[in-house]
Amino acid sequence: MSLRVGVIGAGGMGREHIANLMALEGVEVVVVADAIQASADVGADIAGAEASIDPFGIARRDDLDAVVIASPDDTHAELAIAAIEAGKAVLCEKPLAVTVEDASRVIAAEATTGRPIVQVGLMRVYDPAHRQVADAMTELGDLHHLRLVHRNTNFDWVRPLDVIFSQSMIHDIHTAHWLSGTDFTSVVAQVARTGERINYVNLLGELESGATVSIEFAEATYGYDVEIEATCQHGMAIGAQPAQPVIRRDGAAHRHIGHDWFGRFTQAYRIEAAEWVAGVRAGEVRGPDSADGLAAQRVVAAAIVSAETGERVRVDRG
């Protein structure tokens, strides 16, 4: 029997999920909802699905097995709770919520169902380059330091600091949690601005294991660029960049980087969709779960306080 899925949010991320779900056998995207009719129509056209402008109605519908939430970040928690209460499996784009309190409310709602049903779209765990680093680390002994660099292309949008943390750096925060297998204990954040624009954020974190993590975030104009380096007891691992040919032309050698995360993480998103569906069919959450979403949000909360106070801030772990 096919898995009947509703997709909430038909912006770039929603459309990416629609395309990836449609490529899977036995998955039917039944309805696409977006608060804006024109977007709902575009998403529904891609899927050959019904269009709706009632995201909460979709979350609550009883003829769907699962929903993907890819609406604006501040709607994630309420939509996830509505879907959980209607007994649906959920793939919720990151962040799970924009506050620790709301992420905890999602977890409380999920707990009432008696089984895990929420996966969070922290898709780097499916990225082949990140997985290679994870594999290499198993041979290198204890992790000493992780260096994560995230150059973003939201340059034409002046984003406040909390949004940069919860929308972008949350990926790196979760990567550190995943690769180290431990929690952050404290963070120190430094922020460089030009007027309102945040140009650069540096987050130095300490982990329960004693390892350290540095996350460098920059709004870049040239392309979307993510780097990872793990320094361990017996050596280090450097994440590969996606394989691209070198084009020599007009007296120059050129290698394409890409303008956004859709290009850099194409494969990760595809694998994520397939793994999520397999997990839903098995009645399991196999990828990053709501506890991972909450853990990351706790680090975000501490990072915001650190940036405001200039102090090193302990991460509240509940």
The residue ranges that bind ligand ISE (CB under 6 A) are 152, 154, 167-168, 171, 261
Residue 186 CA to residue 89 CA, distance in Å, equals 33
At its nearest, how many Å lie between ligand ISE and the CB of residue 154?
5
User: Cβ closer to ligand ISE: 61 or 124?
Assistant: 124
Which tokens sit at 19?
Answer: 């395309």
Residue 27 CA to residue 14 CA, distance in Å, equals 16
User: Cβ closer to ligand ISE: 261 or 276?
Assistant: 261
At its nearest, how many Å lie between ligand ISE and the CB of residue 123?
8
User: Cβ closer to ligand ISE: 11 or 57?
Assistant: 11
User: Cβ closer to ligand ISE: 152 or 180?
Assistant: 152
User: Cβ closer to ligand ISE: 9 or 55?
Assistant: 9
At its nearest, how many Å lie between ligand ISE and the CB of residue 152?
5
Nearest residue to ligand ISE, using CB? 168
User: Cβ closer to ligand ISE: 109 or 228?
Assistant: 228
At its nearest, how many Å lie between ligand ISE and the CB of residue 191?
16
Which tokens sit at 194?
Answer: 């030009």
At its nearest, how many Å lie between ligand ISE and the CB of residue 228?
13
At its nearest, how many Å lie between ligand ISE and the CB of residue 210?
28
User: Cβ closer to ligand ISE: 175 or 290?
Assistant: 175
At its nearest, how many Å lie between ligand ISE and the CB of residue 47?
21
Residue 109 CA to residue 105 CA, distance in Å, equals 6
Which tokens sit at 217?
Answer: 């975030």
